[in-house]
Amino acid sequence: MSWEKAVRTGTLPEWPYPLRYGEEKELETDVLVLGGGIAGCWAAISAAKKGLRVAILEKGATIASGSGGAGCDHWVYVANPCSDITPEEMVDAEITSTGGYTNCISRYISSREAYDALVELEEMGGKVRDTEDEFKGAEFRDEKTKFCFAYDYQNKLHFRVWGSTFKPALYKACKKLGVEIYDRTMATSLLTEGGKHGSRVIGATGLNIRTGEFVIVRAKATVLCLSRPQRVWQFSTELTGMSTLRPQTCIGNGHAMAWRAGAELTQMEKSTRSLMGSGLNFPMYGTGNPFNTWYACSMVDADGKEIPWVDRDGNVLKGVSDRYRPAPGQRFLGERSINYNYRRPTLVPDLLERVQKGEFRLPLYADLPGMPEMERRVIFGMMVGEEGKTKIPILKTYRDAGFDPDKDLLQSYMMLGGEEMGKKARMQRPGLPQQRTFGEGGDAGGLLIDWDLKTTLDGLYAAGDQLFAGNYHHHAAATGRYAGRKAAEYALVAGVTSVERQQVEEEKARVYAPVKRQDGIDWKELNAGLCRVMQTYCSEQKTEDLLNLGLLSLKEIEENDVSMAYAADPHKLGRVLDVLDLLTCDQIIINACLARKASSQHLDFYRLDYPQLDPPQWQKWITVRLEGEEVKTRMLSIDFWGKLKENYEARNRDYEGWYKG
Ligand X SMILES: Cc1cc2nc3c(=O)[nH]c(=O)nc-3n(C[C@H](O)[C@H](O)[C@H](O)COP(=O)(O)OP(=O)(O)OC[C@H]3O[C@@H](n4cnc5c(N)ncnc54)[C@H](O)[C@@H]3O)c2cc1C
Nearer to ligand X, 38 or 201 (CB): 38
**CA dist., res. 48 & res. 30, Å (int):** 10
* 272 strand-pairing partners: 437
Contact 412, 363 (CB under 8 A): yes
Q: Which is nearer to ligand X, 181 or 202 (CB)?
A: 181
Rounded to a whole number of angstroms, the minimum distance from the CB of residue 352 to ligand X is 27
Closest CA to 80 of 469, 474, 651: 474
Nearer residue to ligand X within complex by CB, 481 or 596 = 481
| d(C-alpha 151, C-alpha 75), whole Å | 11
| Minimum distance, C-beta of residue 441 to ligand X, in the bound complex (Å) | 8
Smaller CB separation from ligand X, 67 or 435: 67
Closer to ligand X at the Cβ: 110 or 435? 110
Q: Which of the 8 DSSP states describes residue 239?
A: S
- Asked if 101 contacts 71 with a C-beta cutoff of 8 angstroms, the reply is no
Least CB distance from residue 74 to ligand X, whole Å? 4
Min CB(229)–ligand X separation in Å: 10
Phi/psi region, residue 376 (left: phi>0; alpha: psi -120 to 50; beta: rest), is alpha
| Min dist. Cβ of residue 42 to ligand X (A) | 8
In the bound complex, what is the minimum distance in angstroms from residue 360's beta carbon to ligand X? 30
101 vs 537 by CB, closer to ligand X: 101
Of 187 and 538, the one with the shorter C-beta distance to ligand X is 187
Pick 111 or 553: Cβ nearer ligand X: 111
Q: Output helix, strand, coil percentages for the chain, rounded to the nearest 5.
A: 35, 15, 50
- Our CB check for ligand X shows the closer of 460 and 594 to be 460
Give 463-510 as a 3 state SS string. CHHHECCECCHHHHHHHHHHHHHHHHHHHHHCCCCCCCHHHHHHHHHH
284: which residues sit within 8 A by CB, 6+ positions away? 242, 245, 387, 389, 390, 420, 421
Nearer Cβ to ligand X (467/593) = 467
415-418-423 Cα angle (round to 5): 85
- The dihedral region occupied by 221, where left means phi > 0, alpha psi between -120 and 50, and beta the remainder, is beta
Distance of CA 143 to the CA centre of its chain: 32
Tell me which residues touch ligand X (CB under 6 A).
34-40, 57-60, 65-68, 72-74, 76, 186-187, 225-227, 245-246, 249-250, 253, 284, 387-389, 464-466, 471-474, 476
Give the residue at shortest CB distance from ligand X. 37
Q: Which is nearer to ligand X, 78 or 307 (CB)?
A: 78
**Alpha carbons within 13 A on the beta-carbon side of 578:** 29
Q: Choose between 108 and 537: whose C-beta lies nearer to ligand X.
A: 108
Strand partners, 446: 266
- The least distance separating ligand X from the CB of residue 183, rounded to whole angstroms, comes to 9
Tell me the Ramachandran region of residue 402: left when phi exceeds 0, alpha when psi lies from -120 to 50, beta otherwise: left
Scored b (16 or more CB within 10 A) or e, 259-274 reads: bbbbbbbbbbbbbbbb
- The distance of closest approach from Cβ of residue 3 to ligand X in the complex, given in angstroms and rounded to an integer, is 26
Is 421 strand, coil or helix?
helix
Q: Which is nearer to ligand X, 223 or 598 (CB)?
A: 223
Beta strand pairing call for 24-34 and 214-224: parallel
Q: For every residue of 433-456, which 3-state class applies, written as one string?
A: CCCEECCCCCCECEECCCCCCECC
**Which three-class secondary structure string do you get for 119-174?**
HHHHHHCCECCCCCCCCCCCCCECCCCCCEECCCCCCCCCEECEHHHHHHHHHHHH
